[in-house]
Copies of this chain bind each other. A is one copy, B any other.
Amino acid sequence: MKETKLPKVAIVMGSDSDFPVMEAAVRFLKDFEIETVVEVCSAHRTPDKASKFAKEAADQGFDLLIGVAGMAAHLPGVLAAYTVLPVIGVPVKASALNGMDALLSIVQMPPGIPVATVSVDGGLNAAILATQILAVGYPRLKDKLKDYKETMARKVQEKNLALQKKLTDG
């Protein structure tokens, strides 16, 4: 049964320069006690490793893959081509074109091979989405997600109070 093993996620980045986009994600997943492997692995420079990684991911116990890439960002699509695990794609702003190239390269996947795309540089959202997906099989995550949602709401409220104070003191 599922709960006998820990949920396990891989973050695969096309370049180590993509890491700052994913730092908050790594922390989030750790906080949620989700085993997280981070790999630098390029769809274009180390294609064999990328495809091998995706092919074996299910057998290695991974529940889900997060592909992170800029420019002609093929990595999430390449991962999705080789696995039936859900693949989340994070477009990175890494060129003159402001990440629009990466966004379209990831989200516009042709029929048959979807990639669950989040916003440009949306590393944290990739981690949250990953956790929501894992919660389908690991129910304990659902309560933690609800807590997180409530904490977010509380923080917005606190910021609102701080602003009210500032405006009154103003």
Q: Which residues of A contact B (CB under 8 A)?
A: 1-2, 14-16, 19, 26, 38-49, 51, 58, 63-64, 70-72, 74, 77-78, 80-82, 84-88, 93-122, 124-126, 128-129, 132-138, 142, 145-146, 149, 152-153, 155-157, 159-160, 162-164, 167
Contacts and interface: CB of A to CB of B under 8 A. Distances in A.
Contact of A72 (B44, B86, B104): B104
Contacts of A94: 110
Majority SS at the chain A contact face: mixed
A108 B163 contact: no
A109, A115, A157, most chain B CB atoms within 10 A: A109
A96 B121 CA distance: 8
Given A64-B136, A114-B132, A107 B108 contact: no
Given A45-B153, A81-B45, A159-B40, A119 B126 contact: no
Given A44-B109, A108-B105, A111-B125, A96 B99 contact: yes
A42 B163 CA distance: 14
A152 B41 CA distance: 11
A62 to B, nearest CB: 11
5 A-B pairs with least C-beta separation: A116-B116, A114-B125, A137-B137, A40-B160, A136-B137
A91 to B, nearest CB: 9
Contacts of A107: 72, 103, 107, 117-119
A146 B125 CA distance: 28
Given A135-B84, A136-B134, A159-B16, A120 B97 contact: yes
A135 B58 CA distance: 12
